[in-house]
Amino acid sequence: MLHRTEAIILKTMPFSEADLIVSALTLEYGLVKTFAKSSRKTKSRFGSSLEPLTYVRTSFWGKEDAALPRLTQADIIRPFQKIRDRMACFFRVMEIVELTLGFLIEREVQRDVFHLLLSILMKIEDEGPANDRDVLNTLLYKIRFLDAVGYGPRLEGCARCGGSGYNFYIAQGSILCGACAKGMDSPVRLSPGMIKSYGTLRSWEVSKSARIRLSRTLLAELSDMLDAHIRYTIAKPLKTKAFQPS
C-alpha cells in the first residue's frame, strides 16, 4: 500500500550500483527506512531531495510490515541548504541527527520529536550564521529530545527525596543529596546557574527561544553535562563528536 507523509531526511547509505537506503523521520510513521531506486544517477527524479536534513513530502510503497519499502516520491518543502553550506554548523546538526537515530525505534510514531526537529532546523537556518546560536539551538534540541524519549537527566533537586543538592551522578542520571548518595562516588558538581538555565531550556516554548541568552561558560557547562549523560546512556560516544570543536 502507498503511504504519504512529511519527512525529514536523516541519513542515506549507498546501496548497490546507484541506489540509496534512506533513513527519515516521518510525521505519520516515525523513523522509517526506505529504498530509493537509482537515486544516485545524475538524472534521478529525486534530484537533491534526499540530502540529509531536507524536509520533504514523501510517498513510499510497501506492506505495513515491509522491512524496506520503496520510496516513490520526495518533493522538497524546505531544503535547509544554508545549514549544509556552513560546515561547522552542519557538523553540529549532524550530532543531533546521530542522537536522534540512536534513540528512536523504527516505526514508532514520534510526532513531538518530528515537530521539535523541524522547528530547531528552522531556527538554526533563520538565526544563523552565528556559532553561539547554533550551540544554543542544538543544546535546546538535545534537552527537549531526551525529555521526549524519556531519557532526560533529572536536575530538580534530589531525585530520591526531593531535597536540595548540586551533585550530579552520571550513573543515576540525576542529582542526589548527600544523604541519598551515601557510598556513591565521583559526582559532577553543577552550578546553580546551570541548573536554572537547564530548567529554562526545558520549559520555554521552542518558538520563543530566540530570546534566551546564555553565556559561553554556561553553554559549555550544560553541553559537558549533557554529553556525559548521553555517552553514559547510549554506552558509547557519538561518532559525530569527533567533528565538534572542543
Partner 1 sequence: MTLGIIENLINELMRLPGIGRKTAQRLTFFILTMPDEEARSVARAIDEVKEKARFCSQCFNITDAEVCDICRDERRDRKRICVVEEPSNILVIERAKFYRGLYHVLLGAISPIDGITPEKLKIDELVQRVQANGVEEVILATNPNTKGEVTAQYIRERLNAFPVQVTRIAYGLPMGSDIEFADEVTLGKALEGRRRM
Residues that bind Zn ion (CB under 5 A): 158, 160-161, 163, 177, 180
**Residues 144-183 within binding reach of partner 1 (CB under 8 A):** none
Number of chain positions touching partner 1 (CB under 8 A)? 28
**Residue 239 interface partner, choices Zn ion, partner 1, none, CB cut-off 5-8 Å depending on type:** partner 1
Name the E strands within 27-135: 30-36, 55-61, 70-78
**Residue 161 interface partner, choices partner 1, Zn ion, none, CB cut-off 5-8 Å depending on type:** Zn ion
Binding-site member from 6, 21, 28, 51 for partner 1 (CB under 8 A): 51
- Tell me how far, at minimum, the Cβ of 124 lies from partner 1, in Å: 16
Binding-site member from 90, 103, 114, 169 for partner 1 (CB under 8 A): 90
- How many other β-carbons are positioned within 10 Å of the β-carbon of residue 17? 8
Q: Is 236 in the site for partner 1 (CB under 8 A)?
A: no
**Residue 177 interface partner, choices Zn ion, partner 1, none, CB cut-off 5-8 Å depending on type:** Zn ion
Composition of the chain by helix, strand, coil, percent to 5? 40, 20, 40
Distances (CA, A) of 101 to 146, 147, 233: 12, 15, 14
Q: Is 84 in the site for partner 1 (CB under 8 A)?
A: yes
What is the rounded CA–CA span in Å between residue 134 and residue 224?
16
Which strands make up the sheet holding 174-175, listed edge to edge? 174-175, 167-169, 188-189
Q: How many residues does the chain have?
A: 246
